[in-house]
Amino acid sequence: MSQELPQELLSARQTIDNLDAALVHLLAERFRCTKNVGQIKAQYDLPPSDPSREEVQIKRLRKLAQESGLDPEFAEKFLTLIISEVIRHHESLR
């Protein structure tokens, strides 16, 4: 016999589901923007990656994470994953 889950848990899970959907939509929009950047870089024969900008962005995101109560190490790993995927896309546009 299975136990019915508390409404409190179901509600919390629904919030998580909504946040996950928002994250996916935000990532999709971010990748649409970075695709445009990649096309501009290809047009002007610029390199797919910009290490100085990436460093600034990582520092900025770590600070935002710290201020928001999110582990800055996790935030950096997350952004590094996104950046590596963006660079891969930019390389394919060249």
Looking at the domain assignment, is residue 2 inside a domain?
A: no
Give the SS3 label for residue 5: coil
DSSP calls for 26-51: HHHHHHHHHHHHHHHHHHTT--S--H
Q: Please write the tens of the pLDDT for every residue from 25-75.
A: 999 999 999 999 999 999 999 999 999 999 999 999 999 999 999 999 999
Looking at the domain assignment, is residue 21 inside a domain?
A: yes
Looking at the domain assignment, is residue 1 inside a domain?
A: no
User: Which pTM does this prediction carry?
Assistant: 0.84
Range of the domain at 71: 7-93
The CATH number of residue 30's host domain is: 1.20.59.10
Looking at the domain assignment, is residue 82 inside a domain?
A: yes
Looking at the domain assignment, is residue 74 inside a domain?
A: yes
Count of structural domains within the chain: 1
Model pLDDT, residue 1 = 56
Residue 94 pLDDT level (bands cut at 50, 70, 90): confident
Find where tokens 């995101």 sit: 61
